[in-house]
Structure 1
Amino acid sequence: MSGIEVLILENCGLFAFENSISVNPSTAHVVPLSLLQDYLMGMFPSQFEELLYMYPSLEGFLKTAARDIVREGHIESWQLWNYEVMTAKNYYLDKRHEHDCFSNLTWNHLEEHKPLFIFYVKEDKRRYEAERASMKKKVRRRQEASENGFQNNGAPITTNELRYQSMITNEVLGLCHSLTPTQKAMDGIRHLRKKIQNMLNQVWPGMNYQVVIFGSSANSLALTNADVDFCIVVPESRYEQDLYKYRNKLSKIPKSVYNMFFLASRLRGIGMRGVEAIGHASVPICKFVDPQTGLNCDINANNILGIENTRMIQKYCDLDSRIRPLIFAIKQFVKQKDINNPRGGTLSSYAYVIMVLHFLMSALEHPVIPSLQRLQVSCTSRDCNFKSFKPIPVLHDHHIINCDARFHDCVQIQGVGEYGLQVKGATTVWNGRNTDSIAKLLQLFFQYYSIPQNFSLSIVSSDGGLIRSDELYPDKYPFTIQDPFINSKNVARSCTVIGASIILQEFQRAAELLSEGGHSFVKICDPSLNLNRPIDTESMEFRFQRKNERKTTRQDKFVGYLDREKKIQTMLEAKQIIDVWTGSESEQDAAHADEFYIDQPVSWANNSPIKIERPAGRETAAKRENQQSSSSSNEGRFRNAATASPSSAEPRSSESTGTTKEITPILQLVKTIMALQPKSENELETFSTQPCTDMDRLLNDPTVSTIQPKDLCYLIAQLNFLGDAVAGNILTNAVIGQQPQQQEQSRSETDNPTQAAYLQQLQHALETIGLSEDDDDSYNMNETDSDLENDDEEEVNINYILDNVPDHLDSYEIYNLFQWYGSVVNIEYMENPQPSWCVRLVMRYKNVKLLPVNPEFEGFVCDGQAYIL
């Protein structure tokens, strides 16, 4: 054993101890092997090269000869220490996380195959092995207890314990009975379904649309006064035709059953109350209240996956008599604890149902149910749904995918005694061995989900593991609950860090109370004992509330800052921050407005503003007062103009305002911007894609101080109308195929030669755009509905990562570049894993390809990459 080997191994431990990326420093110390190798190569170049001459790699040395060095005690300081080498994937799967021997890593984006050097105390591993042996022994004793009525310690179950389990079981069964909707309530739901069906037949006669009930109201899991879910089923051939023809435009088709805003108007027509259309959700829905029953209802169009999911959960409940009461108990618990609100940062009732099914099939020594999607026994039925069902086309993440929604509906469970249920038409037998009571299953459920690692689950596979987990981005969310049919969808994506923490704490306390005994289930669910929770700024509920609180003020607003010095000067004078697009003002002290981007999680709504300071510049207090008085007088002028007769709403000009000699302020601003615009050969490209580079000069120009926000809004609106009209005219001519004589005549009618030149450039630019087959369908003029009015694709959320950015570059310059491609939501500087800028945008899906790959900033070329969220 050479001294070089001992030297290298000893410094591996020292480096890991001082540079660990473990979150908890009291656990094992972890460093990536590549980082360790770079350190050794820099500190001991000659010795490390000699080591690599003897061994193929550092990893090969650590897995062979280095183990003998530790075993023989050649490193005196390592008497209490040892090491291991494993991949990042195996590290996170290691059971030592459950025993506080390992902790999470500060590097969240490590590749699964990346090797890690783990330096730990020997005593921790001995403690872990002893605890694992004790747990295995308890499992064996629990198995014996379930067979012969003895507890884990071998002693007979006492009368008090039997009485307590029986009390909890009877309490849950009574709760299930009391919370089940009455027959009168179910009749009211069916009557409401018929009422909606009659409305569909009148609005869309001959289309054969059918209204069906799905969700908890259809699978016997609904609580009293629970929301009712309806689905409008479109005939299969018609739906596939619409889906492949319109794709992302389904919810925008005028007077269509997919258009929730049009459906909302029809529901109001039949007397529904509180009608609200949510047309931009992943599954567009319409909410309403039935005035007769008082039920809150949701309705959507052709959510076939929801219907099939309801049928599958119903089949699970039909397998064993303990499943339905157990789900009722969990739903009542999370309702009382207020942890079943996705908008509030927790989980949906559907997510908890999947958790129960996963627990029953994967978390017990003897599973209660099998996986109906991947059955481990041979299917013996000819009419099984798994054999006859075909894939369902669904629009997901702007792509049409065929979902495998098959499951076995022919399974019968045997061997569970009184808990087994007779399934009509079942021929496939699955032998079960679990005979735990409902109270025991409830206790084990809370114990199982008291461990954070168990919140990564699925019911697609029999072992409960995630299928194609890389598509779910498990590091992005605190919990990962895989959708049974869309494997790339995380049902728990709305759960925040605070929400996950509250769920874990409530589950841990429930597990402790059930283990102690003597507590009724009503006491365990007591809402007066709920944990206090902080304000969850990541939840949708909070973001929507803050968005609704925004108010518009009367003051003039300037946006942007040019450099850090001006930003500091701005903060000394400004006392408020403003929104770039909405112009709303937040009552926040300037001392807390140090950042250009929003510190809190950002809502992806299209009108979500990016907040920047209002630069007061070099203005004096007297000058600002004069501007405010001018603002008040000008606002009064706009109010008078708004209340004038429609005939007076003419385009703004010197004649319409009565000033024949004076140029209007907005026209003067346009001339100033054009004067400061950089010149190039292609004037159209300059004016349409380049911002005004001399922003400092523009902001200090006297013209800017005379402009009101309403003037700018008016100008932007008119220019948008003009641009759409000109582009639409040229595009329509290109589609219809005008004759050359007509095109020549339209050119001759243009009096202004400059305007004609711009039109020719615009037409040339539009002719160079290649239309795909999908876009050709959008401009088919033979259709009865005008698709030209609905050619806007749905907007998507983009994370644009900008690398190799010079240090002196300011976020304002990045904002100036990307505002031309879409709505900039946030700009954030990141240091890990490498220094870069993250720009969050909302833009059209088909325009993502227009984002620059190598953007330039004052001669510096950077690297960019766009990611669709």
Structure 2
Amino acid sequence: MDTETATAIMEFIIEFTKANNLAESDSKSTTALVVHFDALNHRLKIDMQKEYIKMLRNYDELFDFLMTKGRHIYDKKLNTKWTYRIMPGKKYSQDNRCKKNLFLPLKQKRFYRFNLFVLYHEPLPLKYYGTEEEYYTLTEKLTKDIEVCLEKNTSIEKKYRHINHLADYINTEFQDFFDDPKITVEIIGSTHTKLDLDDSDLNLGIRISPSEIKKDASLCDTQNWGNTLYDPHYLAQCLRKMGMKATLPIPSAKRTQFTEPKTGLQCFIGVDDGLVFERDTMIIKYLKLDKRVKPLIIAILKLSRSCYMSALSTYSYVLMTLHFLMNVLENPVILNLQNLPVECNSTDCFLT
């Protein structure tokens, strides 16, 4: 997407938010401006049709576009930089910035039922003594330095190519074994989210479409696991036929461990009814909210590994980090996506 189009959309958003503020106002220029997010999206689609179409060629929706822009908008007229958030009305009313009168109450209670687009000036850290422009220049430089450092220390593209090739091979073999193209083997876990370390295991999930599970209820019946995808012993037999080594069924975990002979990579495979893949998708969306989230999580994982803090899983560290960034900090770095209305394709959505 070209810079001119992106800038035009951002400038429109500023003007629309200023003109349609749903929050009470005061004399301070630092208080937030709030609009109904769906109304903003609708007006943008009508008033900037060409730019909106260009945006959709690169992003699924306006939300994705805004989340990848760094959550900062430069206002040429005021020569200042705005920060924006997208949050449910209930979250807005509970935000810590309400206590500091940065987020003022909304004019009508019904507005709290909507998803809101909030535009405000982020106060500078108390320990920083430079100008606002210098502060943002410094933070942008640090962000780029972090990205470069991450690339230098996680240059494992060759590993991913091999992993993808292995997953494709096992996927093809399983479809032949069970004569069912609707069964797919996909990478799950930290390798899927690209949060794995150099010595991480590979987790593979056998995905069965919900419609197929409904047709064959025996797949979910533990008494009928023999010679099915849910039987770790049967999976071990299939893997041995593929040439995999050290196959070890783990019935308690409903998965099978094996070793890829060429590289000695330790792998695990089991049936994923959708929950794990949905979980991975959720994590990937959080990583896209801010470029600094992924390096932070990887640094925490490396630190925990070097200090032999292995009692918790990677997923646990990810959850704690995301919780800290969205709920503990006085000025949250990321928003809580699960407070937004989203569609879940898993049969166990209530667990996510």
Name the TM-score class by shorter chain: 0.5 to 0.7
Inter-CA distance 156–249: structure 2 relative to 1 (3 Å threshold)? same
Structure 2 letter corresponding to 1:147 = P
Q: Which residue of 2 aligns with 1:249?
A: 222
Say which of 301, 321, 337 aligns to 2:291: 321
For 2:249 and 2:149, locate their aligned partners in 1 and report how far apart those are by CA, in whole Å.
35
Q: Which residue of 2 aligns with 1:264?
A: 236
Q: Which runs of 5+ in 1 are unaligned?
A: 1-135, 141-145, 158-163, 341-345, 380-385, 394-401, 405-483, 486-869
Q: Secondary structure at the match of 2:123?
A: helix
1:747-758 equivalences in 2 (<5 Å): none
* 1:352 partnered with 2:317: yes
After TM superposition, give the deviation of residue 223 of structure 1 in Å.
2.0
Inter-CA distance 178–295: structure 2 relative to 1 (3 Å threshold)? farther
Q: Which residue of 1 aligns with 2:326?
A: 361
For 1:231 and 1:373, locate their aligned partners in 2 and report how far apart those are by CA, in whole Å.
24
For 1:179 and 1:308, locate their aligned partners in 2 and report how far apart those are by CA, in whole Å.
28
Structure 2 letter corresponding to 1:279 = P
Q: Which residue of 2 aligns with 1:209?
A: 183
For 2:198 and 2:187, locate their aligned partners in 1 and report how far apart those are by CA, in whole Å.
16
Inter-CA distance 166–204: structure 2 relative to 1 (3 Å threshold)? closer
Inter-CA distance 294–203: structure 2 relative to 1 (3 Å threshold)? same
Q: Which residue of 1 aligns with 2:338?
A: 373
Work out which structure has the larger RCO, using CA pairs closer than 8 Å and 6 or more positions apart in sequence: 2
* 1:292 partnered with 2:257: no
* 1:199 partnered with 2:164: no
After TM superposition, give the deviation of residue 201 of structure 1 in Å.
2.4
For 2:320 and 2:161, locate their aligned partners in 1 and report how far apart those are by CA, in whole Å.
30
Structure 2 letter corresponding to 1:296 = Q
Q: Secondary structure at the match of 2:289?
A: coil
Q: Which residue of 2 aligns with 1:403?
A: 349
Instruction: Report if the CA contact (8 A) 2:143-2:292 is conserved.
Output: no
Q: Which residue of 1 aligns with 2:74?
A: none
After TM superposition, give the deviation of residue 370 of structure 1 in Å.
1.3
* 1:147 partnered with 2:123: yes
Inter-CA distance 210–150: structure 2 relative to 1 (3 Å threshold)? same
Q: Secondary structure at the match of 1:287?
A: strand
After TM superposition, give the deviation of residue 349 of structure 1 in Å.
0.9
For 2:215 and 2:322, locate their aligned partners in 1 and report how far apart those are by CA, in whole Å.
36
Inter-CA distance 246–166: structure 2 relative to 1 (3 Å threshold)? closer
Say which of 150, 154, 170 aligns to 1:180: 154
1:84-163 equivalences in 2 (<5 Å): 147-148=123-124, 150-151=126-127
For 2:177 and 2:124, locate their aligned partners in 1 and report how far apart those are by CA, in whole Å.
65
After TM superposition, give the deviation of residue 180 of structure 1 in Å.
2.5
Inter-CA distance 187–302: structure 2 relative to 1 (3 Å threshold)? same
After TM superposition, give the deviation of residue 403 of structure 1 in Å.
2.8
After TM superposition, give the deviation of residue 240 of structure 1 in Å.
2.7
For 2:249 and 2:277, locate their aligned partners in 1 and report how far apart those are by CA, in whole Å.
21
For 1:362 and 1:195, locate their aligned partners in 2 and report how far apart those are by CA, in whole Å.
42
Q: Secondary structure at the match of 1:187?
A: helix
Q: Secondary structure at the match of 2:337?
A: coil
After TM superposition, give the deviation of residue 260 of structure 1 in Å.
0.8
Structure 2 letter corresponding to 1:269 = K
Inter-CA distance 170–337: structure 2 relative to 1 (3 Å threshold)? farther
Instruction: Report if the CA contact (8 A) 2:143-2:291 is conserved.
Output: no
Q: Secondary structure at the match of 2:186?
A: strand
For 1:315 and 1:195, locate their aligned partners in 2 and report how far apart those are by CA, in whole Å.
28
After TM superposition, give the deviation of residue 182 of structure 1 in Å.
2.4
Q: Secondary structure at the match of 2:269?
A: strand
User: What root-mean-square deviation, in Å, do the aligned CA atoms of Structure 1 and Structure 2 show?
Assistant: 3.3
After TM superposition, give the deviation of residue 221 of structure 1 in Å.
1.7
Instruction: Report if the CA contact (8 A) 1:150-1:156 is conserved.
Output: no
Structure 1 letter corresponding to 2:127 = Q
Inter-CA distance 206–373: structure 2 relative to 1 (3 Å threshold)? same
Query: Whose Rg is larger?
Result: 1
Q: Which residue of 2 aligns with 1:311?
A: 281
Inter-CA distance 148–347: structure 2 relative to 1 (3 Å threshold)? closer
Q: Which residue of 2 aligns with 1:220?
A: 194
For 1:148 and 1:165, locate their aligned partners in 2 and report how far apart those are by CA, in whole Å.
11
After TM superposition, give the deviation of residue 280 of structure 1 in Å.
1.8
Inter-CA distance 275–168: structure 2 relative to 1 (3 Å threshold)? farther
For 1:185 and 1:361, locate their aligned partners in 2 and report how far apart those are by CA, in whole Å.
32
* 1:334 partnered with 2:299: no
After TM superposition, give the deviation of residue 294 of structure 1 in Å.
2.6
* 1:275 partnered with 2:232: no
Instruction: Report if the CA contact (8 A) 1:260-1:285 is conserved.
Output: yes
Inter-CA distance 253–207: structure 2 relative to 1 (3 Å threshold)? farther
Total equivalences in the alignment: 230
After TM superposition, give the deviation of residue 245 of structure 1 in Å.
4.0
Structure 2 letter corresponding to 1:298 = F
Instruction: Report if the CA contact (8 A) 2:146-2:292 is conserved.
Output: no
For 2:335 and 2:125, locate their aligned partners in 1 and report how far apart those are by CA, in whole Å.
25
Instruction: Report if the CA contact (8 A) 1:361-1:369 is conserved.
Output: yes
Inter-CA distance 241–301: structure 2 relative to 1 (3 Å threshold)? same
Instruction: Report if the CA contact (8 A) 1:181-1:225 is conserved.
Output: no
Say which of 231, 239, 243 aligns to 2:213: 239
For 1:265 and 1:245, locate their aligned partners in 2 and report how far apart those are by CA, in whole Å.
21
Instruction: Report if the CA contact (8 A) 2:219-2:228 is conserved.
Output: no
Instruction: Report if the CA contact (8 A) 1:149-1:156 is conserved.
Output: no
Instruction: Report if the CA contact (8 A) 2:219-2:230 is conserved.
Output: no
1:491-640 equivalences in 2 (<5 Å): none
Instruction: Report if the CA contact (8 A) 1:211-1:230 is conserved.
Output: yes
Inter-CA distance 371–323: structure 2 relative to 1 (3 Å threshold)? same
Structure 2 letter corresponding to 1:304 = G
Give per-residue Cα distances to partners, 1:739-794, cap 9 Å, x unaligned.
xxxxxxxxxxxxxxxxxxxxxxxxxxxxxxxxxxxxxxxxxxxxxxxxxxxxxxxx
For 2:124 and 2:222, locate their aligned partners in 1 and report how far apart those are by CA, in whole Å.
63
Instruction: Report if the CA contact (8 A) 1:232-1:301 is conserved.
Output: yes
After TM superposition, give the deviation of residue 205 of structure 1 in Å.
1.2
Q: Secondary structure at the match of 1:147?
A: coil
Normalising by structure 1, we get a TM-score of 0.25
Structure 1 letter corresponding to 2:123 = E
For 2:241 and 2:300, locate their aligned partners in 1 and report how far apart those are by CA, in whole Å.
39
After TM superposition, give the deviation of residue 181 of structure 1 in Å.
4.8
Instruction: Report if the CA contact (8 A) 2:213-2:219 is conserved.
Output: no
Identity of aligned residues (%): 29
Give per-residue Cα distances to partners, 1:512-553, cap 9 Å, x unaligned.
xxxxxxxxxxxxxxxxxxxxxxxxxxxxxxxxxxxxxxxxxx
For 1:178 and 1:274, locate their aligned partners in 2 and report how far apart those are by CA, in whole Å.
33
Normalising by structure 2, we get a TM-score of 0.58
Structure 1 letter corresponding to 2:190 = S
Structure 2 letter corresponding to 1:373 = Q
Q: Which residue of 1 aligns with 2:78?
A: none
Structure 1 letter corresponding to 2:337 = L
Q: Which runs of 5+ in 2 are unaligned?
A: 1-95, 101-121, 132-137
After TM superposition, give the deviation of residue 172 of structure 1 in Å.
5.2
Structure 2 letter corresponding to 1:191 = H
For 1:148 and 1:279, locate their aligned partners in 2 and report how far apart those are by CA, in whole Å.
54
After TM superposition, give the deviation of residue 176 of structure 1 in Å.
2.2
Inter-CA distance 264–246: structure 2 relative to 1 (3 Å threshold)? closer
For 2:192 and 2:148, locate their aligned partners in 1 and report how far apart those are by CA, in whole Å.
21
